[in-house]
């Protein structure tokens, strides 16, 4: 009885508590609505959050919270709350449509389609739902179905200009510009008082380089309502995008006047862009004060200004204060990562960039920065994944496409490199970088004429771009017009004294003409001001080797591997210099002494291992590679070489796989590293993976007979004798005296 009585009292207490919580939640909700109507968005957010804390299933509160977030420009938070609100309010068709629109914008086309279909089950003639459904179908690559759905929307309501603009967008996606133009024009014809229709037409005209018509269309939209925020934003974006940012100012100011804090932030961003920092600071201070010091976005913009005026310590401290309060603030993490990267603190920057992506997986800026840092730290596979994800979120992100073009070109995948560059050029026709990447891809494919055509256009538009002149020099070398090549390289170097492409081109032209004295003089002058640039040190070493000044080359290469311990080229060149001078043993003695004095000197131990391997002392070399890995378990060279030695000896193959994978993860684009992985798999009889790795090595370095020989052996071991024969014959064409390949071919032929 005692337990039962206690249970009844407990249930009653919970009931009373629940009623009190529900009442408090409703009160907070009403308070939030009041603040929202008065445009006091920060206060509204606090109240709506309070209501949700008291009742997590309070759908109306989440719906209003999403609206408040939209008004302060926090679209990520708005997206999250809008989706939750729609889940909790299944009968609210407006909530479902808004959720579908957010899902559509974030590239979640299947989920957007599901929401739109839910609305259409209730309201089969809902034009907006049909438009969302059409665009979602297009995102799922069902363009034919998408167009049919948009045309159905037009049939239901021929006066709905939004349907025509969506149809125009889909026609444009199909490449039918004329039909797209007609659809956009029809949109303003059926509803000349629709600002959205005029703006859509303007965006189409701008995208097709008819900028005069675009400007007229935008002014037509503005004439409908000079205070409309969307229209003013569109005109401001147009002037900034066409290189006339000063003309954007009145429209940005009108946005700030007509809108709330989000538009004030846009005005501050404009002032920052124009380097009018005090005006930006004044605007941001006002935003921050209205939010009682809690508006983090304003604080972060102020921190950006502080950093821009060379007060990095204060700027970092400001961001740290925001992160202490909001550890998952994506913008704060992004700023932190960007500054650390600028300050050459790559590993710390990498950590912050990953945290920024975790906090906001939909942030293209965070993904792009992460990819950029990964390129710098030689994590090319990770970089490719980051840029690919950015591109998935926004298929028109030309900057990500340019980066992917560069990465695929470095892998030897020229067709992919050209594809990405072409897509980037379509998406950003006025940006020179995609066309520069496209020219590089054409050069790699041997299509010199097409590369020259791209470069001619770039030279006309950007006569003072060093990179364009340097690449033009490369095409002239391929044409064997060395005088013109020299002129192009010299012009590039004059425009940008740090251009490594131009410097390399001139140095190699001098070496090819046996003018090593001229090449040396050029490198001496460059080293006087760039002694720590790895690419300059490597180039200078090659020049000094050509000039037979091995002592100077050795000094430079030793400095190179000290400042960049993972530089594969530096170790390779230094080993060649020791071999040429027959200095392997003296060099080993010196590095042994360094290792003895410093137990943590991985570089010295790595050089000892390389020297021992060059002397065919493989047992001792293995021990030394193990010493390196004990100090630096991620050493690419030590892991790769030890794995190869194990595979050659047919021993410790499980460890060899692990080591080869460690090396490959960090240097996936290095054909020698991929070949090692393949060789280990070959020894373990994992032939499909071996062949895949060997094929990648051949694709990256098609002139290396060893990779073709290994590929032939793998095909033969798998029983694919026809492909084995082709691979071995290719190896022999490259190296006719390749005895191992010849013997393998004889074995196949019987």
| 108-121 tens-digit pLDDT | 666 777 777 777 67
Q: What is residue 339's predicted lDDT score, i.e. its pLDDT?
A: 94
Q: What is residue 677's predicted lDDT score, i.e. its pLDDT?
A: 92
Q: What is residue 707's predicted lDDT score, i.e. its pLDDT?
A: 92
Q: What is residue 280's predicted lDDT score, i.e. its pLDDT?
A: 84
CB 301 within 8 A of CB 291: no
Q: What is residue 126's predicted lDDT score, i.e. its pLDDT?
A: 64
CB 333 within 8 A of CB 339: no
Q: What is residue 161's predicted lDDT score, i.e. its pLDDT?
A: 46
Q: What is residue 41's predicted lDDT score, i.e. its pLDDT?
A: 79
CB 83 within 8 A of CB 59: no
User: Which stretches of the chain score pLDDT less than 70?
Assistant: 1-22, 73-76, 104-110, 120, 124-177, 180, 203-204, 206-209, 291-295, 530-531, 568, 750
Helix, strand or coil for residue 567? coil
d(CA 61, CA 287): 25
CB 566 within 8 A of CB 378: yes
Q: What is residue 452's predicted lDDT score, i.e. its pLDDT?
A: 93
pLDDT digits (tens, 9 = 90+) for 11-67: 333 333 344 556 777 888 888 888 888 887 777 888 888 888 778 778 888 888 888
d(CA 7, CA 575): 82
CB 204 within 8 A of CB 180: yes
d(CA 38, CA 724): 77
Q: What is residue 361's predicted lDDT score, i.e. its pLDDT?
A: 85
Who's near 732: CB < 8 A, 6+ residues apart? 705, 738, 741, 742, 745
């Amino acid at each position: 009885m005692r337990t039962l009585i206690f249970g009844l009292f407990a249930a009653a207490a919970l009931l009373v508590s629940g009623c009190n919580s529900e009442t408090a939640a409703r009160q907070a909700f009403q308070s939030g609505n009041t603040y929202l109507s008065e445009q006091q968005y920060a206060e509204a957010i606090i109240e709506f959050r309070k209501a949700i804390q008291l009742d997590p299933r309070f759908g109306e509160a989440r719906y209003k919270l999403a609206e408040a977030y939209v008004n302060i420009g926090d679209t990520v938070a708005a997206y999250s709350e809008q989706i939750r609100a729609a889940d909790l309010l299944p009968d609210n068709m407006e909530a479902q449509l808004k959720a579908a629109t957010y899902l559509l914008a974030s590239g979640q086309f299947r989920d957007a389609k599901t929401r739109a279909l839910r609305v259409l089950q209730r309201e089969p003639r809902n034009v907006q739902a049909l438009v969302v459904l059409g665009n979602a179908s297009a995102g799922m690559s069902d363009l034919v179905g998408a167009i049919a759905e948009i045309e159905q929307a037009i049939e239901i309501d021929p006066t709905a200009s939004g349907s025509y603009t969506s149809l125009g967008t889909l026609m444009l996606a199909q490449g039918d510009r004329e039909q797209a133009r007609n659809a956009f024009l029809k949109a303003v014809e059926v509803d000349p008082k629709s600002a959205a229709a005029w703006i859509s037409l303007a965006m189409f005209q701008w995208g097709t380089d008819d900028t005069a018509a675009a400007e007229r269309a935008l002014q037509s939209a503005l004439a409908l309502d000079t205070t409309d925020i969307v229209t003013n934003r569109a005109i401001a974006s147009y002037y900034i995008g066409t290189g006339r940012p000063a003309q954007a100012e009145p429209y940005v100011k009108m946005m700030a006047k007509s809108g709330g804090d989000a538009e004030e932030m846009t005005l501050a961003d404009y002032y920052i862009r124009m380097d009018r920092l005090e005006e930006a600071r004044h605007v941001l201070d006002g935003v921050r004060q209205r939010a009682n010091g809690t508006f983090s976005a304003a604080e972060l913009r102020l921190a950006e200004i502080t950093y821009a005026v060379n007060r990095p310590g204060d700027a970092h401290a400001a961001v740290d204060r925001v992160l202490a309060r909001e550890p998952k603030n994506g913008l704060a993490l992004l700023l932190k990562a960007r500054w650390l990267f600028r300050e050459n603190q790559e590993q710390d920057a990498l950590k912050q960039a990953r945290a920024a992506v975790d906090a906001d997986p939909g942030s293209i800026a965070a993904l792009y920065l992460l990819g950029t840092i990964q390129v710098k730290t030689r994590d090319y596979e990770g970089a490719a994944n980051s840029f690919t994800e950015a591109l998935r979120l926004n298929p028109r992100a030309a900057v990500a496409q340019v980066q992917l073009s560069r990465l695929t070109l470095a892998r030897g995948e020229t067709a992919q490199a050209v594809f990405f560059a072409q897509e980037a050029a379509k998406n950003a026709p006025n940006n020179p970088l995609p066309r520069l990447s496209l020219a590089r891809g054409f050069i790699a494919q041997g299509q010199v004429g097409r590369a020259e055509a791209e470069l001619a256009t770039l030279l006309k538009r950007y006569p003072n771009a060093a990179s364009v002149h340097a690449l033009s020099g490369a095409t002239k070398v391929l044409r064997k017009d060395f005088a013109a090549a020299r002129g192009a390289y010299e012009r590039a170097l004059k425009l940008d004294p740090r251009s490594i492409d131009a410097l390399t081109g001139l140095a190699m032209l001098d070496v090819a003409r046996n003018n090593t004295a001229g090449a040396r003089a050029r490198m001496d002058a460059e080293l006087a001001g760039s002694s720590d640039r790895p690419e300059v040190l490597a180039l200078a070493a090659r020049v000094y080797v050509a000039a037979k000044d091995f002592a100077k080359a050795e000094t430079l290469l030793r400095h190179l591997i000290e400042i960049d311990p993972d530089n594969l080229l530096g170790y390779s060149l230094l080993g060649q210099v020791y071999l040429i001078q027959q200095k392997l043993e003296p060099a080993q003695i010196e590095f042994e002494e360094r290792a003895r004095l410093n137990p943590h000197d991985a570089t010295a131990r790595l050089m000892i291992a390389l020297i021992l391997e060059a002397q065919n002392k493989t047992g001792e070399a293995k021990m030394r590679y193990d010493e390196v890995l004990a100090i630096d378990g991620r050493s690419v060279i030590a892991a790769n070489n030890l794995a190869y030695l194990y595979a050659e000896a047919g021993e410790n193959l499980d460890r060899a796989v692990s080591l080869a994978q460690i090396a490959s993860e960090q240097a996936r684009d290095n054909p020698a590293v991929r070949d090692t992985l393949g060789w280990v798999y070959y020894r373990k009889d994992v032939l499909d993976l071996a062949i895949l790795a060997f094929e990648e090595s051949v694709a990256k370095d098609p002139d290396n007979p060893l990779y073709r020989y290994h590929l032939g052996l793998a095909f033969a071991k798998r029983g694919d004798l026809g492909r084995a024969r082709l691979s071995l014959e290719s190896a022999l064409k490259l190296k006719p005296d390749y005895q191992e390949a010849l013997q393998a071919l004889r074995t196949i032929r019987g």
